[in-house]
C-alpha cells in the first residue's frame, strides 16, 4: 500500500530557536509554530483558532534558523509528520511533530536599513545549500555595471 507524508505550514515562530549540536556534529533546533485558522461558526461569526506545532530542523536549516529566526518571525515550513513515543513513570506518552525538510523565511527583516524590503530565503533540510537570492546585507545589492547611468524612467 502506498503512503504519503507531507506537511506545509505557514505561521509565526512562538519562541527563539536554541541551536545545539548532537555528538556527530549535526546542528539541530526545535521551534514552535503558531498556525491560525479563521472560519465562521454556526452563528455566522468569525472565529480564529490557533494550532501550535512543534517543528524540528536539522543541519544547515537549523543553523540558518538559529541565526535569522526569532520569536514572531513568519515562516513557511515543508516537512513530514513524526510520532515520538516514550514512557515516563510507567505512563506511555506520545507527541506528533513535524520534521522540517525545507524552510522559507518570510516577511521583512526589521531593524536599521531594512527599508521594508521583503526577506525571502529558503533552505532545504540536511543539505548545505542556502538560497541567498535575497541578500541579507541591505547595503550591497550587487548593482549591475553602468547602474549609475541616468535612466529617463
Give residue 56's domain range: 7-39+46-131
Q: Is residue 136 a part of any domain in this protein?
A: no
The larger pLDDT score, comparing residue 120 to residue 53, is at 53
- Select the more confidently predicted residue: 137 or 95: 95
**pLDDT one-digit tens code per residue, 40-50:** 999 999 999 99
Rounded to the nearest integer, the mean pLDDT of the chain is: 80
> Given a cut of 50, is residue 88 above it in pLDDT?
yes
pLDDT at 147 over 80: no
Per-residue model confidence as pLDDT tens digits over 92-110: 999 999 999 999 999 765 5
Is residue 89 very low, low, confident or very high in pLDDT (cuts 50, 70, 90)?
very high
Structure confidence by residue, pLDDT tens digits, 18-41: 999 999 999 999 999 999 999 999
In a domain, 107, yes or no: yes
Could you tell me the CATH number of the domain that includes residue 101?
2.40.50.140
In a domain, 67, yes or no: yes
Give the chain as a DSSP string. ------EEEEEEESS----EE-TTS-EEEEEEEEEEEEEE-TTS-EEEEEEEEEEEEEHHHHHHHHHH--TT-EEEEEEEEEEEEEEETTEEEEEEEEEEEEEEE-SB--STT-TT-B--EEEETTSS-EE-SS-S-TT---PPTTTTS----
What is the domain count for the chain? 1
Amino acid at each position: 500500500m502506498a503512503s504519503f507524508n507531507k506537511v506545509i505550514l505557514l505561521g509565526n515562530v512562538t519562541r527563539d530557536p536554541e541551536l545545539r549540536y548532537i555528538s556527530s556534529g549535526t546542528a539541530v533546533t526545535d521551534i514552535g509554530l503558531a498556525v491560525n485558522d479563521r472560519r465562521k461558526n454556526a452563528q455566522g461569526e468569525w472565529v480564529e483558532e490557533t494550532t501550535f506545532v512543534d517543528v524540528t530542523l536539522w543541519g544547515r536549516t537549523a543553523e540558518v534558523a538559529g541565526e535569522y529566526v526569532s520569536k514572531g518571525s513568519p515562516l513557511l515550513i515543508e516537512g513530514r509528520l513524526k510520532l515520538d513515543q516514550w514512557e515516563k513513570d510507567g505512563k506511555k506518552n506520545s507527541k506528533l511533530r513535524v520534521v522540517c525538510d525545507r524552510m522559507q523565511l518570510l516577511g521583512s527583516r526589521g531593524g536599521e536599513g531594512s527599508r521594508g524590503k521583503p526577506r525571502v530565503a529558503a533552505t532545504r533540510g540536511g543539505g548545505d545549500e542556502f538560497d541567498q537570492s535575497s541578500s541579507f546585507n541591505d547595503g550591497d545589492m550587487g548593482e549591475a555595471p553602468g547602474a549609475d547611468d541616468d535612466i529617463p524612467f
